[in-house]
Chain A
Amino acid sequence: MKSIFGFCSRGRTGVSLPALDVPRSEGIPEGLSREDDGNVGLPRASEGQVVRHFVNLSTRNYHVDKGMYPLGSCTMKYNPKLHENLARMEGMASVHPLCPDDQVQGTLEMMHHLGELLCEITGFSGVTLQPAAGAQGEYCGILLIKSYHESRGESHRNEVLMPDSAHGTNPATSTLADCVVVGVESNAQGLVDPEDLRRKAGPNTAAFMLTNPNTLGLFESHIEELTAIVHGAGGLNYMDGANMNALLGIARPGDMGFDVCHLNLHKTFSTPHGGGGPGSGPVACSAELAPFLPEPVVRKDSRGVYRLHRERDPFGRLLAFHGHIGVLLKAYAYILTMGAEGLREASEAALINANYLKARLSEYFDNPFDNGPCMHEFVLSGERQAAKGVKTLDIAKRLLDYGLHAPTVYFPLIVHEALMIEPTDTEGIEELDRFADAMISIAREAEEKPHLVTDAPVNTPVLRLDEVKAVKDLCLVEPREGGDGA
């Protein structure tokens, strides 16, 4: 589609600004003023042209309001419309972050209460709402753990244990926190091998990071043993809460021997993904770790006034301000709307939907870890199809032709040709069947007319894109035309 920079007729604008009603002061001195003199290179378009451009672009997107998004570990749920309106209320959206506390009691009350609710949901007693996303939550959690060890004179603990099925953010976070990643093997059932964990946990263990249910969609059923091994070695247990949508009202990380977890509000608590963000990744922890949470935290003082409380500075702040308030508001609205019963109902529906799809597809695709029910997601392997020359990537692209989105592919790394499917509680039987029927039909095509799959997609705004060219002939910005459309 035409670029926005194609609109470049001089003098055209998409806004009407008030005239300057104060005298002009002396300008910026020569040498400090802009070199290209009114030619930054921004577009010049009318409001209508801008709106049309972006509306036309938008029609080239798949989105969860259009159909199912079975991306494993991404939890693409419906985003309630009311919640966006609430977060955008004038009283919420127009408060400056450095307003004195007494000027922002509504937002502070929300933060205080949301923190309490997240503690109840996770079984923990301390929480910070600051982290911008899951990965920053992980970083916050690992720093929290390091601060705890340091306070006990054990600053040498710098190893973070994690299974080979971990999300890529887990090892990347550990490196950022100046820790060393130690891989723990999975056993034939796709669960962490306790014997290997026992071998690797030791006097240098800072933390064990585990996603539970894991990225195969399996609950780590010997979790008691795993967390005890780590505690026995003096380490702490961190739960990556990416898969928390399986457990709402069913089980709590705080009860299973975990010491810290982060939550992805943009997954489990239905806030929108916006094409890649913003997210929000609050971190909850045990009472023992709570003193090490980053400040400020919201406290209610003796007069019932909510305050941003600063006392110590355990490891600094994660963002310039207090977190993604707009996202927190939507998650808060979701929890209030659902209540305890609704949240449990959501997790139950997520489990049932995943198991239903697993049952419908098991005849057509390999399932390397089919040992009983899955939780909210499951992982199939496209090896049977790959043997016929149809790769998992082809299956993913063919799903787009059926008007659906693809599952997460090639992850977790321990499954060949992996297809990781998470239907979420949002889908009803009609959409689940549409997806299952499409997958079964593609499995048949792979047998009978494989070119239909390997040529896919053909019904999309563009055909399969050349990613090698994108890297080899890097084009990361629109080149400037000579004359800049003047």
Chain B
Amino acid sequence: MSRFIPDSSGTRRELLRTIGIEDFEELLGPIPKKYRLTRPLELPGPMSELGLLREFGRLARNNEGAGKVCFAGAGAYDHFIPAAVDHILLRSEFYTAYTPYQAEVSQGTLQAIFEYQTMIARLTGMEMANASMYDGASAAAEACLMAMRSTGKDRVLVAGSLNPRWLQVIRTYIRRKDFRLDGIPFGSDGRLDIDATAGMAGEGVAAILVQYPNYYGLVEDLEPLAELAHSEEALLVVAADPVALPMLRSPGDAGADIVVGEGQSMGIPLSYGGPYVGFMAAAMKLARKMPGRIIGRTEDRAGQTGYVMTLQTREQHIRREKATSNICSNQALMALANTVYLSLMGEEGFREISSQCYHRSHYLEEGLLGIPGVRRVFEGTPFFREFAISFPVSADRFLEGMLEAGILPGVPLTELGDGAMLVTATEKRDRSQLDAYVGKAAEICRGGAS
């Protein structure tokens, strides 16, 4: 008998007696006989707790990549997570609670998410934020739909320097035949070509979507894009990296209307891609067009402050086919991870993380540029935490050589050339690791690896 099922065969008889039947099979009456399984499912197990531990230990040991020093980014980053984050997340009260439908017994989750919304709004420089989306990519897709909904227009201009996986997700989400996506080219400096953007903008454009910093780590100038969007009565949607925001001009200050992003960097482990968390912030006037849950502050019957899910008529359980989105479950626990993480870091700590990512990645880039044959892919544009760089050997060979030395050196950018890589350094990469990367890379580039 499973350790999760409390009723013994004795109690089971008692329960059946109250129901008024003798045999469990009577409860299956409504299922046509031909559809009732007459054989057990062919599944392994049942496994003991010890057996399960051994099996997962084996699987974990087969993940050789887990032990490598990580310089890969491209949307998922190896940041330090303070121990207190997981201690809070794993509290039963947060971890095993359902969606806060009964607000009076969900004030813990509701207030925490309200604090999350506040932190996201402040980081992005926006007036409000929702309670989370699945990930940054799906948040970007929903932002495009939201922009179309609120402008009544059907065309979105997407920066060519947007994370290509995010673009794929946006394409998956925008299925209406009358909707159009057009890519904006970027210049040799890796930044969006403002003149080209202006040439493409015009009637029917609902939004311009730009990543900040972009996929190649480069910092775009948002203000001209905001001006351009607004002159066409379109919205500027910014996909922002939250870790860069303590250093960079906030999208809200530069004129963004909707800001989305990936929150994995703030207290969430890499876990081979998920669960992560998407955030979405916007100007207050767009609140009613937002997808997903939103928490609001109110009062109880005695005038005490409390929190509830609000503006619910936007959502699927009320508005059904006219809802702003089909999203129901979101990423509440991951949003809580962001909230606890940012609370621990605080104003100065998060700025320090941001600054260390900046300086460490610049130190690494400088070291690599000292190797003969290594060059920048984009010249002269400020970058944050990651950069595109070209090695004089193929990315495959580079990757193989670096992995042998225990280093995951980055993500190949084959679209930019055979030896091009996207390389990331977070606050976790100390000087000795950065120097080791440069040393090993020099060896491979000299042909010493093979």
Contacts and interface: CB of A to CB of B under 8 A. Distances in A.
Given A23-B363, A476-B287, A63 B92 contact: yes
Interface residues on A, range: 35 or more
B447 interface: no
Nearest to B24: A348
A279 interface: yes
A44 interface: yes
B257 interface: no
A263 interface: no
A134 interface: yes
Contacts of A187: none
Given A15-B82, A50-B344, A99-B72, A278 B246 contact: no
Contact of A172 (B6, B321, B346): B321
A1 B115 contact: no
A70 B305 CA distance: 27
A252 interface: yes
Contacts of B128: 476-477
A105 B63 contact: yes
Interface string A266-296: 1000101111111110000000000000100
Interface in A140-167: 143, 167
Given A71-B98, A317-B169, A469 B316 contact: no
A396 interface: yes
A478 B115 contact: yes
A15 B329 contact: no
Given A20-B355, A463-B302, 7 more contacts: A13-B349, A97-B75, A97-B76, A104-B64, A120-B43, A343-B41, A425-B4
A341 B40 contact: yes
A33 B253 CA distance: 11
A100 interface: yes
Contacts of B270: 93-97
* Across the A-B interface, the 4 shortest Cβ-Cβ residue pairs: A91-B60, A321-B273, A274-B333, A103-B65
Interface residues of B, number: 208
Contact of A428 (B6, B26, B306, B430): B6
Interface stretch (A35-43, A230-238, A380-388, A437-445): A35-43
A408 B30 CA distance: 24
Contacts, number: 705
A135 B88 contact: no
Contacts of A339: 43-47
A27 B41 CA distance: 62
A96 B317 contact: no
A74 interface: yes
Interface stretch (B119-127, B202-210, B226-234): B119-127
B2 A342 contact: yes
Contacts of B99: 273, 275-276
Interface string B377-417: 00000101000000000000001000100001001000000
A138 B248 contact: no
Interface in B296-340: 296-302, 304, 306-308, 310-311, 315-323, 325-334, 336, 339-340
A182 B399 CA distance: 53
Given A103-B63, A322-B274, A340 B169 contact: no
B193 interface: no
A250 B31 CA distance: 9
